[in-house]
Structure 1
Amino acid sequence: MVATGAFAPGHLGELTRIIPFEMVDAVLESTRAVQARVRALPSRVVVYLLLAAVLFAELGYEQVWARMTAGLAGVPVADPVSSALSQARRRIGIAPLRALFDLIKGPAAGAARWRGLLVCAIDGTSMFTPDSPANVAAYGHAGGGNGPSGYPMLRLLAVVACGTRTVIDAVFGTPSVGEITYAPPLLGCLGNDMLLLADRNFAAADLIGAVAGTGADLLFRCRNNRKLPMTGRCGDNSWLTRIGTTTVRVIAATILVHQSGGPARTERYLLITTLTDHKRYPAPELVSLYHQRWEIETSYLELKSTILGGRVLRARTPDGIAQEIYALLVTYQALRIAITDATVTTGTTADRASFSIALNTARDQLILAAGIIAGTTIDLIGTIGHAVLDHLLPARRQRTCPRIVKRAISKHRAKGNIDRNSYKITINITINSG
């Protein structure tokens, strides 16, 4: 079951149920990007082409089009050349994709909560763009100890709901602007009953005050040598201090990690939080909870490695890059919603769902043009959800592995003599007094 006429190729397989025709038509109408007349490539079809291209990041747009139309046997469809697809993408511009992201972003049902608080994390990452003059002018080559980067880079900063890894909001731009500068526009997505996790880079006084001003709570890590004078004591060895205009609780912890088959190691954490009630929010639980910040790193892995396969983005202009980034975020969010719908329905934790299984099943459904419109008997889980549930990952285990360069600079010699094994671990947490 597909749309009729020239609109037939406009679909995303089963993911069309999450991004339906009505939603795409609404954003096109609101951004005044609807075609003046029905062409061989209507605007709705072009939006779905951009989203489908995310599922097939290794293919050119003509090959993506071939997969969108492969399951439309007996339906007359256009056969556009590459230049026609390029002109169509430029015609609709950035605004419809940005508006579509605004509609679909946010925490999915079942996002992780701790003591009634929605747990989310903020962090940034970098992505590479094609080495065109326009992209170089917009983003530049990032410098480093080994010289400038081979491709222009952009910075992406996002707030992600832990557990479901759905994107609550995101911004991106030139890497010459730091994460702290990009962060304030994202704070509008925060509110009461939310807890924001962040690493040491975000523990600036102005940003801490801005986060607290939204009504959300925070749990940030600080540098271990940061001076945080005591203004009050709590009953669990944590203490109160002032950072700017905000009163925060300081938790200094020593974490002893016992590795099976490897040496034990010790780490020190210095955490600050606006959760000042030590009885309601025990310090050892907050230290353990901080580990959830790594959920956003997994989200970036899924975006950059699982979907893009480590490739640079496609577009050779900044406007095209912006359009592509929003398409990437929208499609990623749709996949994550499909996963969450399946896991919540069956009471399974979302971290046991395989993102690769969901991605590959969504590709298959698009090629088959299957599941676009739900039948009279509605399956809330769908083909993607059933595939995920049929191949659940093992329950998460406590393991450790050193942070290393996974891909050596030289193919002939790995960088350093590093033990690359993962070890099962047990953890002991000690809260130190100030």
Structure 2
Amino acid sequence: MHTTPLFSMQFHIQTLSKKRRTTAQRLADEIAVARTRSLEQLSTCLEEFIPEHLLVQNASGKHSRSRIFTKQTTFWAFLSQVINADGGCSEVVSKLRAFAALKCPFAISPSTGAYCSARKNVLKEEIKTVFDHTAETLDKMERRDFCDRRVIVVDGTGLTAPDTKDNQEKWPQQKQQQVGCGFPSLRVCACFSLKTGGVLSYRTGNKRSHELRLFRDQWDDLFQPGDINLADKMFSSYFEFAMLLKRGVDSVVTQPAHKRRPIAEENAVKKLGGNDLIVVWKKPVWSKKAAYSREEWEALPQTLTLRQIKVDVTANGFRVKSFYIITTLLNPDEYPANDLAELYLRRWEVELNFDDLKTTMGMDELRCKTPDMVEKELLMYFIAYNAARWMICKAAGTSGADPMRISFKGALQELRNWEGQLNHPKTTQQDKRKLIAELYRGIALKIVPLRPNRKEPRCLKRRPKPYQLLTEHRSTMNETKHRDKYRAKAA
């Protein structure tokens, strides 16, 4: 029979009565309630996707003591910050203060200093571990796509960061811009799953970093034998075809006309059909400007047998009337030319993925003022993006819809609008499960209509304000008087 020890720390030795809790202990309990309940709505929705063991407190050092902003609370606050439309630190602190106003006997400071310090103390490697887990989890949900093979689509984009000295040193602005008139320019090369749209891997660089080099840095952690690499003409080179083939990875890319001209039918090795040829590429001459060493160049084969497919475009909205696909998938019976053409047209989905990240979520203009925090912010954007994609896949699994047909912006709106109900003090666990099920059902109903061959010119309809452009430093810039004010003064 188990008995309580007489000298237990919970009791007075003289009276064996339970100790009265001190004011500090009661305040600690209230702080724990405030920090877990105020931001737990996101963790409730994503507890299967981001498990708690990835965010445990450190044994010593930073994030080892009990504070309002623990590592777990700071992570979910940071994630809430990039998901919400405002995206400011003050919004996160205000959310915590609003909940603590009714639950805690003390007022939390409206200053964002404690939260910003807590974000700074979270290591980038810890956030990277969470991102790797989200990418792996999302990749396992829907792994096969084209001919029962995993298709990875790659592309690059540019971002800007706040104009600070540290950011400018790591990511310099454009050379033609005056000091104080531009912003640090980041280049990001990311690889997405074509089936789910999730980010599997990425690398960052400055304006001098070529996307090919950033892409090659991801091969070891990304590709597996049997994968298909889908990319545009920027990633079409002899080196990429040869090195990926050694890894058992096939490629489907377009041929850049300015680098290598299409091979005529009379010079082809074999004709498979109309505009479908088996061709041979010869090994290019090595150059010191190449992005690979001479030893790597010497290890390349002297020739590559590839497949060249000409695709004629008859639909409106395309900038070209025809283009050439170069692929290592040589079997026309297993991989018909029309199927490969349709596969390449799906490459446009990576542009929509970047649009979701940069426009819908606001990643186009990063906010943190140091390179370390900028890299953390970028990781949090990718984690939040993968989390939304995971919820879309879960909703699609229950409804049978195509996950790429469900609106990404609609899913974010559902999550933002439902988190208040999930955080209500009177909401029970049973009610939360019911709300989450209804949340998934609402996401599944956000279907984007099919609009094939819709013409969307890259033009701006809304005119910008007629303000001057900043062409000098703010301290020396002379602003021209506004036209209307100038006329009114002259009259």
Partner secondary structure for residue 158 of structure 1: strand
Q: Which amino acid aligns with 1:99?
A: T
Aligned to 1:424: none
Query: Are the counterparts in 1 of residues 161 and 167 from structure 2 also a CA contact under 8 Å?
Result: yes
Report the CA distance between 1:176 and its aligned residue: 1.7
Aligned to 1:114: 146
Give the Cα–Cα distance (whole angstroms) in 2 for the partners of residues 149 and 241 of structure 1: 49
- More moved, 145-154 vs 135-144: 145-154
Give the Cα–Cα distance (whole angstroms) in 1 for the partners of residues 169 and 448 of structure 2: 44
Aligned to 1:268: 322
Give the Cα–Cα distance (whole angstroms) in 2 for the partners of residues 308 and 39 of structure 1: 30
Aligned to 2:277: 238
Aligned to 1:325: 378
Give the Cα–Cα distance (whole angstroms) in 2 for the partners of residues 94 and 78 of structure 1: 31
Query: Are the counterparts in 2 of residues 93 and 319 from structure 1 also a CA contact under 8 Å?
Result: no
Report the CA distance between 1:209 and its aligned residue: 2.3
Partner secondary structure for residue 235 of structure 1: strand
Aligned to 1:419: none
Give the Cα–Cα distance (whole angstroms) in 2 for the partners of residues 149 and 235 of structure 1: 56
Q: Which structure 2 residues correspond to residues 122-141 of structure 1 after superposition, within 5 A?
A: 122-141=154-173
Q: Once the two structures are superposed, what CA deviation does each residue of 1:263-319 show, in whole Å capped at 9, x if it has no partner? A: x98622111111111111111211121011111111100000001175x21100000
- More moved, 321-330 vs 171-180: 171-180
Give the Cα–Cα distance (whole angstroms) in 1 for the partners of residues 371 and 196 of structure 2: 30
- More moved, 231-240 vs 293-302: 231-240
Q: Higher strand fraction: Structure 1 or Structure 2?
A: 1
Q: Which amino acid aligns with 2:173?
A: H
Question: Does 2:112 match 1:82?
Answer: yes
Aligned to 1:431: none
Aligned to 1:427: none
Aligned to 2:40: 11
Aligned to 1:99: 129
1:390 to 445, 449, 457: 445
Report the CA distance between 1:52 and its aligned residue: 0.8
Q: Which amino acid aligns with 1:41?
A: F
Partner secondary structure for residue 218 of structure 2: helix
Does the C-alpha gap of structure 1 residues 155 and 33 become closer, same or farther in structure 2, counting only changes over 3 Å? farther
Give the Cα–Cα distance (whole angstroms) in 2 for the partners of residues 258 and 83 of structure 1: 55
Give the Cα–Cα distance (whole angstroms) in 2 for the partners of residues 338 and 208 of structure 1: 35
Query: Are the counterparts in 1 of residues 185 and 207 from structure 2 also a CA contact under 8 Å?
Result: yes
Aligned to 2:8: none
Question: Does 2:71 match 1:43?
Answer: yes
Aligned to 1:423: none
Q: Which amino acid aligns with 1:251?
A: Q
Q: Which amino acid aligns with 2:385?
A: Y
Give the Cα–Cα distance (whole angstroms) in 1 for the partners of residues 304 and 180 of structure 2: 42
Higher radius of gyration, 1 or 2: 2
Aligned to 1:406: 460
Does the C-alpha gap of structure 1 residues 208 and 258 become closer, same or farther in structure 2, counting only changes over 3 Å? closer
Q: Which amino acid aligns with 1:334?
A: A
2:196 to 132, 156, 164: 164
What residue ranges of structure 2 are gaps of 5+ in the alignment? 1-30, 284-300, 467-491
Give the Cα–Cα distance (whole angstroms) in 2 for the partners of residues 19 and 4 of structure 1: 23
Q: Once the two structures are superposed, what CA deviation does each residue of 1:244-269 show, in whole Å capped at 9, x if it has no partner? A: 4373423231413144xx9x986221
Give the Cα–Cα distance (whole angstroms) in 2 for the partners of residues 247 and 157 of structure 1: 26
Aligned to 2:485: none
Question: Does 2:280 match 1:247?
Answer: no
Larger RCO: Structure 1 or Structure 2 (Cα < 8 Å, ≥ 6 residues apart)? Answer: 1
Give the Cα–Cα distance (whole angstroms) in 2 for the partners of residues 290 and 151 of structure 1: 34
Q: Which structure 2 residues correspond to residues 25-44 of structure 1 after superposition, within 5 A?
A: 25=55, 35-44=63-72
Give the Cα–Cα distance (whole angstroms) in 2 for the partners of residues 149 and 269 of structure 1: 39
Matched length: 404
What residue ranges of structure 1 are gaps of 5+ in the alignment? 413-434
Question: Does 2:366 match 1:313?
Answer: yes
Give the Cα–Cα distance (whole angstroms) in 2 for the partners of residues 356 and 163 of structure 1: 18
Does the C-alpha gap of structure 1 residues 40 and 378 become closer, same or farther in structure 2, counting only changes over 3 Å? closer
Q: Which amino acid aligns with 1:257?
A: T
Q: Which amino acid aligns with 2:64?
A: A
Query: Are the counterparts in 2 of residues 33 and 96 from structure 1 also a CA contact under 8 Å?
Result: no
Does the C-alpha gap of structure 1 residues 378 and 60 become closer, same or farther in structure 2, counting only changes over 3 Å? closer
Q: Once the two structures are superposed, what CA deviation does each residue of 1:211-244 show, in whole Å capped at 9, x if it has no partner? A: 2233221101111352465563142232132364
Query: Are the counterparts in 1 of residues 282 and 304 from structure 2 also a CA contact under 8 Å?
Result: yes
Does the C-alpha gap of structure 1 residues 355 and 212 become closer, same or farther in structure 2, counting only changes over 3 Å? same
Give the Cα–Cα distance (whole angstroms) in 1 for the partners of residues 305 and 98 of structure 2: 58
Question: Does 2:353 match 1:296?
Answer: no
Aligned to 1:214: 247
Give the Cα–Cα distance (whole angstroms) in 1 for the partners of residues 462 and 120 of structure 2: 38
Q: Once the two structures are superposed, what CA deviation does each residue of 1:324-377 show, in whole Å capped at 9, x if it has no partner? A: 000100011000000011112221111221111111121223344449996499
Does the C-alpha gap of structure 1 residues 285 and 145 become closer, same or farther in structure 2, counting only changes over 3 Å? farther
Does the C-alpha gap of structure 1 residues 105 and 149 become closer, same or farther in structure 2, counting only changes over 3 Å? farther
Partner secondary structure for residue 238 of structure 1: strand
Q: Which structure 2 residues correspond to residues 354-433 of structure 1 after superposition, within 5 A?
A: 354-370=407-423, 375=430, 382-394=437-449, 396-401=450-455, 403-406=457-460, 410=464
Q: Which amino acid aligns with 1:296?
A: V
Aligned to 1:426: none
Give the Cα–Cα distance (whole angstroms) in 2 for the partners of residues 373 and 217 of structure 1: 51
Query: Are the counterparts in 2 of residues 158 and 167 from structure 1 also a CA contact under 8 Å?
Result: yes
Query: Are the counterparts in 2 of residues 342 and 381 from structure 1 also a CA contact under 8 Å?
Result: no
Q: Which structure 2 residues correspond to residues 342-353 of structure 1 after superposition, within 5 A?
A: 342-353=395-406
Partner secondary structure for residue 169 of structure 1: strand
